[in-house]
Structure 1
Amino acid sequence: MGERLGWRYAVLIPAVLAALSMIGPFSIDTPFPAFPELGRELGVGSEALQLIVTVYLGSFALMSVFHGPLSDAVGRRPVMACSIVVYVAASVGCALAGDLAVLLAFRALQGLSAGGATIVSRTVVRDLFDGAQAQRLMSRVAIIFGLAPAIGPILGGVLLQLGPWPLIFAFQAGLGVVLIAAVLLLLPETHPRERRVPLRVGAVLGGLVEVAREGAFHRLGWATALIFGAQFLYIGGAAVFVVDVLGQGELDFWKLFVPMIGAMMLGSWLCGRAAGRITARRLVSLGCTTSFAGGVVGVIVAATPAGDRMPWAVLGVSLIALGNGITYPTIQLMLLDRFPARRGAVVSLATFVALVLNAVTAVAVVPVIGGSALGFAVAALIGVGAGQLLWAWHCAVEDRDCAVSGEVGELEPVELL
C-alpha cells in the first residue's frame, strides 16, 4: 500500500506515527540528568526521586487499558489529539511545580495521557497496511521509537546546560504541541464509523475481556513483556546503573543508551528487511534466542572485573536489545491480527501488561539489584529466560493445534501477518 499511495504513506505518515509512539518512552527518562539538581532544589533523596519514574509508569499503565478500546469506539484521531492536549498541560504543570508532591501529581497526569499517542499510533499501522508492508512499517516505527530512550537523557543533559530543570518539561510541552498539529493536519482517520464498537462501558470492558480470555494473548504478550522488561531494567534503573554502579556523570547516560538503543534499532531494521523472506515464527525465535544469549553474556561479563567498566558493562544488554528489535514488531502484528475488530483493545492490554511489569521492576527490583552490575545482569537473564520459555510454549501449542486440525504449520513468509 505504501508504494501504491506514494510518499505520504511511505515516508510522512510512518514518521508521524513513530514520533507519536516515542512520546511515552521519551517522557520516562528525559528528567534523569536533572535528578541531582532536583534533589538539591526539592530537598529529597534518590529514593524519592525514583518516584518521578514510578508514578509516571504506574499512571501510564492504569490508563493504557482504556486508550485502545476508546479508539475502537470513537476513532483514532480524537483519542490521540485529546490525550496529547492533556499531556501538554501536564508538562507545563511539571515545569511550574515547586515541590515534589506537585511534580509527582503532574507526572501522574503525564502518564495518564501519554498512552493515547503511544498506544493508538500502533493500531493505525495495522489499519493502513497489511502483510509484509505492515511488518516493514512497524519495523520503521520501532526504529524511531527506539531512539526515544537514547535521545531522552542525552537531550535532558543538553537542556540542563541551557537552563534549570523546568526547561526539560517545557520542552516536552512544546513537543506535544507539534504532535497535536501533526495528528490534526497529517494523519487520516483510519477507523471509519462503520467499523467502530459502541461507546458503552460494557462494550469497552467486553473487548478487553475478549482479548484477555485468549491464551495466545498471554503467551505472546508476556513473552515480549518479559524480554523487553530485561532491557527496561537498565532503562528504568539508568540513574542507578550509570551513576552509582558505573561511576559516570550526569552527561554520561549516552554510554548506556546509545549502544543499547542502537542495537534495538538494528534489530528492527533487520526485522523489516526480513519481511516476506523469513517466516514470522523463525524471526521471533531468532530474536528470542539472541536476547537469551545476551542475558548469558551479561552475567558472564558482570562476574568478571570488567563488569562495571565501559564498554563491557553494556555488552549483554545491547544483545538483549538487538533481539528485542527483531521480535517486537512481529509479535505486535501477531497480536493485532488475532483480533481485527479489537485492535485498540489488544494494544492497550499488551501495553498494560508490559507497563505493570516495568513499574514493578522500577519499584521492587531495581532497589534490590541496583548495587552491582551482576545484580542487573542476573535479573535480566531471568527475564529473557522466562520470555524464551513462553515463546517456546506458544510454538508447542500452535504445533499441537495444527496437528489436531490437520493443517500445515506456518510455512508461508511473513506476509501471512
Structure 2
Amino acid sequence: MPANALWLPWLLAALSAIGPFSIDTYLPAFPRIGADLEATAIQVQQTLSAYMLGLAGMVLWHGALADRYGRRHVLLVLTAVFALASILCAVAPSIEWLWLGRVLQGVCGGAGVVVGRAVVRDVHEGAQAQRLMARVMLIFALAPAIAPLVGAALLALAGWRSIFIFLAVFGIALTLATWRLLPETLPVAERQSLHPAQLLRGYRAVFGSPAFVLLGLTAALNFCGFFLYVMSAPVFILEHLGLGTTGFIWLFGPAVGGMMLGSLLSERMAGVWRPGRTVGAGFALMFVAVLANLLVSAGLPGAERWIVLAVGLYCCGMSIATPTLNILALDLFPARRGMASSCQSFMQIGINALLAGVVAPLLWTSTLSLATGMALFVGLGVSCWLLWMWRRRQATL
C-alpha cells in the first residue's frame, strides 16, 4: 500500500468526481445558458453530447498512457488541462465556443475514473481491491448530490459562468492534491510500450475477449438505467415533478443515498460473498426498483415524486454489483490494467453518449417512458451477466 494510504480513497474519489461535476453542476443553468447565448434548448442539450464525445474519444487512451508513463504523470497533466478547458467554457461568447470547451473538458474528464481503477488494482488484489473500489465509490457517490446544489447556488449568486469558474478551481485543486498526495503506483519495470503494433495487439486482445466485453456491457447498461434520469433531469425535475431549479436534490438525494448504501454493502460483502452472489444481490434490488418504478409511473397519477425512491433503490443495487464487475474485468488483463480500464470506460461512455444525444430525448416525454427505459437497460444488463456466467461455466466443463 502506498504512503498516504488514508488519503487514497478520498483522492481517487475526487478525481473520479470530475465527471459528475462536469455533467451535473450546470444542469440547473440550462435555461439561463440558452437565453444568454441565444441558443435553443436542443443546442444547450448538445453541450452534454459534446462533453461525452470528447470523453469517449480520449478515454480509450488514458489507460495506455498511464501504462506507459505512470499513473501520477497522466493524472497531473490531464487535470491541469481540464482546469484550462473549464476557463474556456466560462468565457465562451457563443454556444459553439461552449461546445468546444465541453469537448476539451471531456477529453480530460475520464482520466480520474480510468487511472483510478488501475491504481486500485496496483495496490490491492481480490477482496481488498473490492473493498477499496467500494470505498472510493462510497465517497464518490456524494458528487451527484452536491454538484447540482453547488450549480444552483452559483447560478443564483453569480450566473452560469461562475459554475465553470468553480470547475476550473476544482481542477487546479485536484492537480495540486495529486502532486502532493499520490505516489506512483506502477513500477518502471512494469510499464508498457506505446509502439503502434503493441497497442494494436493490446486493444485487439481486450476487445476480442468475450468475457471482458460482457462484463463491461453489464456494468455500462446497469449504469444507463440511472444515467437516463441524469440526462433527463431538467425535464424530469422541472416539468414532470413541477419543481424549481433547487429541486434537483429530489432526484440526486435518494440516488446518492442509494449509491452510498450499495457501496457500503459491497465493501462488507467483499471476501464474504462470492462474486456471483454479490452481483446477483445487486440485480435483485435493481429489478425490485424497476417494478416499483413502472407501477408508480403507470398506475398512480399524482404520485410521481415517489419515483425518486425507486431510483434510489436502483442505485443501491447498481452500486452493490459495480465494484465486483470492475474487478472481474480488470483481472482478465493483469499486465494491461490501464488499457483494460480505458476500454471498459470507452464502452460505458460510448453508450452514455448515445443515451444523452438520442435515447434520453426520446424517453423523457413521460415518467412511464423513462421507467420503461430503465427496465430495458437493466434487462439488457442482466442478459449480458447471465451470458458471461454461462460461458464461464462452459469453459470449466
Are the aligned partners of 1:74 and 1:199 in contact in 2 as well (CA < 8 Å)?
no
* Corresponding position of 2:339: 345
Aligned match of 2:12 in 14, 17, 22?
A: 17
Structure 1 residue ranges without an equivalent (≥5): 405-417
* Map of 2:99 onto structure 1: 104
Equivalent of 1:395 in 385, 389, 394: 389
- TM superposition shift of 1:50: 0.5
Equivalent residues of 1:149, 1:235 under 8 A apart: no
- How big is the alpha-carbon RMSD for the aligned residues of Structure 1 and Structure 2? 1.3
Letter in 2 for 1:52: T
- Shift, 1:117, TM fit: 2.1
Distance in 1 between residues matched to 2:325 and 2:280, nearest whole Å: 11
The answer to whether residue 312 in structure 2 is matched with residue 318 in structure 1 is yes
Shift of 1:355: 0.8
The Cα shift of 1:400 comes to: 1.8
Which deviates further from its counterpart, 41-50 or 219-228?
Answer: 41-50
After superposing the two structures, state which structure 1 stretch, 277-286 or 43-52, moved more: 43-52
Cα shift readout 1:325-384 (whole Å, capped 9, x = no counterpart): 101111111111111011111111111111111111111111111110001000110000
Residues 244 and 371, structure 1, Cα contact 8 Å, conserved in 2:
no
* Matched position secondary structure for 1:341: helix
In the aligned structure 1, how far is the partner of 2:242 from the partner of 2:201?
50
Find out whether 1:194 has 2:194 as its counterpart: no
1:253 partner SS? helix
Q: 1:245, 1:370 within 8 Å by CA — same for their partners in 2?
A: no
Runs of 4 or more consecutive aligned structure 1 residues displaced over 6 Å after TM superposition: none
Selected match of 2:24 from 26, 29, 37? 29
- Cα deviation 1:297-343 (Å, max 9, x = unaligned): 21111002346632x12132222111111011111111111110111
Q: Residue 152 of structure 1 corresponds to which residue in structure 2?
A: 147
Provide the residue aligned with 1:257 in structure 2: 252
Matched, 1:124 2:119: yes
Q: Which residue does 1:170 correspond to in 2? A: 165
Matches within 5 A, 1:14-413: 14-306=9-301, 309-310=304-305, 312-402=306-396, 404=397
Q: Secondary structure at the match of 1:342?
A: helix
- Unmatched 5+ residue regions in structure 2? none
**CA distance in structure 2 between the partners assigned to 1:202 and 1:185 by the alignment:** 35
Amino acid at match of 1:23: I
1:201 shift after superposition: 2.5
Measured against aligned partners, the alpha-carbon deviations of 1:197-248 in whole angstroms (never above 9, x if no partner) come to 1122222232221111111011111011111111100011111211122221
Question: 1-side partners of 2:363 and 2:194: how far apart?
Answer: 44
**Identity percentage of aligned residues:** 40
> CA 1:345 to 1:155, structure 2 compared with 1: closer, same or farther past 3 Å?
same
Q: Distance in 1 between matches of 2:82 and 2:248?
A: 25
Q: Which stretch shifts more, 342-351 or 196-205?
A: 196-205
Contact conserved, 1:21 with 1:117, CA < 8 A, in 2? yes
The residue type paired with residue 171 of structure 1 is: F
2:258 is matched by which residue type in structure 1?
A
Cα deviation for residue 289 of structure 1 reads 2.0
Matching residue's letter, 2:169: G
| Equivalent AA in structure 2 for residue 367 of structure 1 | P
TM-score, normalization by structure 2 = 0.97
